[in-house]
Structure 1
Amino acid sequence: MSQPSKLSQARPGDRGVIVQVGDHCHHQDHALELERRLLELGFVEGATVELLHEGLFGRDPIAMKVDDMRVALRRHEAASITVQLENRAVA
C-alpha cells in the first residue's frame, strides 16, 4: 500500500479505495457543490476505484471504474478525491 494521494495523480491501471471526498473545508460554494455531485455519482468513502483511460490532450478527462460503474471526470474534479492506492501501474 502506498500513501494516500489525490485521484488526479493516478495513472491508467492504478486501483485503490476512496478514503476522503472533498476537502471538508466548505468556505467556497463551488467546492461544496462539487463534493455533493461526486457523492451522487458514487464517489463515497470505501468505494473501490480503478483508472481505466485518460484523454490524449493533457491527460484529461479520465475514465474510471467506481465499484461496478464507469465514470469520466476532469482531473481538477478528481483532485478533490483522496485514494489509498493498492498498486502502481508501470508506465
Structure 2
Amino acid sequence: MTLDKLPVGQTRRIAAVGGQGALRRRLLDMGLTPKTQVTVQKVAPMGDPIELRLRGYELTLRLDDAREIALEAPDGEAE
C-alpha cells in the first residue's frame, strides 16, 4: 500500500521512499524516512492534498508525492 491510499485516522510505518532525484531528497528532508510512523489526519475537500502527522508535526502533501511512499503492512512487512 502507498501513502495516498491510507484512510483518514489510520497509522502505518513507512517501508520505502521512492521517487527520483530532487523529489526523493525533498521527501526525505521533510522527515518521510523508512520506519517513521505516519497518520493521515485530513483530506482536502477535493481529495488533494492530504494532511499527515509524523514526528510531532503536521505535514501537507500532494497525492502525487504520497504515491511515492510505500507503507508497511500491519504485521510489519511491506505491502
TM-score, length-scaled by structure 2: 0.87
> Structure 1: 5+ residue runs without aligned partners?
24-30, 87-91
Computing the radius of gyration from Cα coordinates, the structure with the larger value is 1
Question: What is the match of residue 45 of structure 1?
Answer: 34
Cα distance in 2 between the residues matched to 1:45 and 1:34: 16
**Relative contact order, CA 8 A, sep 6+: which one is greater?**
1
Structure 1 letter corresponding to 2:30: L
1:15-53 Cα offsets, whole Å, 9 max, x none, are: 000010015xxxxxxx32111000000000011000000
Root-mean-square deviation (Å): 1.2
- The number of equivalent residue pairs is 74
Question: What is the match of residue 82 of structure 1?
Answer: 70
Structure 1 letter corresponding to 2:32: F
In structure 2, the CA distance between the partners of 1:85 and 1:66, relative to structure 1 (3 Å rule), is: farther
Moved over 2 A (4+): none
Cα distance in 2 between the residues matched to 1:85 and 1:70: 23
